[in-house]
Amino acid sequence: MLRLRSKGGEGTRSKERRPDEPVLSVSHLTTEFRTGSGWVKVVDDISFDVAAGEILGIVGESGSGKSVTCLSLMRLLKEGQGRITAKSVKVDGEETRDYGTKAMRRLRGTKMSMILQDPMSSLNPTLTIGYQVNEALGRAKGSGGARRPVDSLREVHLSSPEQRVSQYPHVLSGGMRQRVCIAMALASRPRILFADEPTTALDVTIQSQILALLRRLRDEHGTSIVLVTHDLGVVAQTCDKVAVMYSGRIVEMGPVREVLRNPQHPYTKGLLAALPRIGKTDELKIMEGQPPDPRALPPGCRFGPRCPEVDGECLAVDPPLVTIEPNHACACLRIQSRAMSEAPL
């Protein structure tokens, strides 16, 4: 199990979260993987907050660092696989940056949970559904252990829960298995739930049902959710706030409506332009090129080689994420310069 290493300053442990304090607060998180050419950053100095009952969508192309971000915060990377540093990682007001294996196991059993992309990677094919849900409820003693597996399955609207508890995972459809995983993740009534591409392998109808289920559970229990996806349509339908990641960095972040209606970063604009739209017969715009190899990053802005608005300054400076207007941040030199010129004196 990996232990987070301090990145400047000492974290302070807080037993109670202030009413205005985020449920999840991440400051300067970096994750590196060991390769034949040395340590390579796959998540590079990112910071974000998730408020109580808020759904944050993390979106971007494959390899942008979305899933690794969640696995790093849950401390689920194998020992020796990666190296994690952060200035601070607070969960429900509790500083977790320096937590070891035992403390993290307690945290994952009470305040943090995760739903993985493939439910079969979370379910044991040799054990019944009821046994596995009951095991999750047992780990959640004090927060939800009094509930029965049938009650947990009924809560996530799994059909015929009395029958399902005696069945094995292979008998269930993909959507049913995902509901079982959600029931297990919610056993402890976690304060923060990480959902890593929970609908990717499902058809559109089941996908919509799963997303509606997550929103309903958020509304009923006040659970904060970090939803990893490559689908901006899912973000628009489900999330309150969105963080757009590219090459291990957050390049744009803000309220969903603001970012999707008024995108600022050229990468965000490119993702939106590639979305199919009902009634539009025009050819989809394709974003040329590929994300850079993290072992050989381009000089300056990492999106520069693919950016239609690139200039000389872009190739010299890797822009930080800067607030350009209230609650809306962007990592683009051109946008930042324009925001400064338009700011009232």
Q: Is residue 323 scored above 50 in pLDDT?
A: yes
Residue 279: predicted pLDDT? 66
Q: Is residue 143 scored above 80 in pLDDT?
A: no
5-111+190-246 fold: Rossmann fold (3.40.50)
Give me the residues paired with residue 89 across strands.
26
Alpha carbons within 13 angstroms on the beta-carbon side of residue 148 total 7
Q: Which of 78-87, 138-147, 232-241, 313-322 has the lowest mean pLDDT?
A: 138-147
Collapse the DSSP code of 120 into the 3-class scheme (helix H, G, I; strand E, B; otherwise coil) and give the result: helix
Q: Which of 8-12, 131-135, 291-295 has the lowest mean pLDDT?
A: 8-12
Q: Which residues contact 146 (CB under 8 A, 6 or more apart)?
A: none
Q: Using an 8 Å Cβ cutoff, are 59 and 16 in contact?
A: no
Helices 129-139 + 174-185 axis angle, to 10 = 20
At 321, the pLDDT band (50, 70, 90 cuts) reads very high
Give the mean pLDDT of the chain.
87
At 25, the pLDDT band (50, 70, 90 cuts) reads very high
Chain centroid to Cα 298, Å, comes to: 26
How far apart are alpha carbons 176 and 215 in whole angstroms? Answer: 18
Q: Which long-range contacts (CB under 8 A, 24 or more apart) does 104-110 make?
A: 104/1, 104/75, 108/74, 108/75, 109/139, 109/140, 109/188, 110/140, 110/142, 110/143, 110/188, 110/190
Q: Is residue 94 scored above 50 in pLDDT?
A: yes
Residue 239: predicted pLDDT? 96
Q: Is residue 29 scored above 80 in pLDDT?
A: yes
Task: Taking residues 19-23, report their average pLDDT.
Answer: 85
- Give me 265's structure tokens: 């970063």
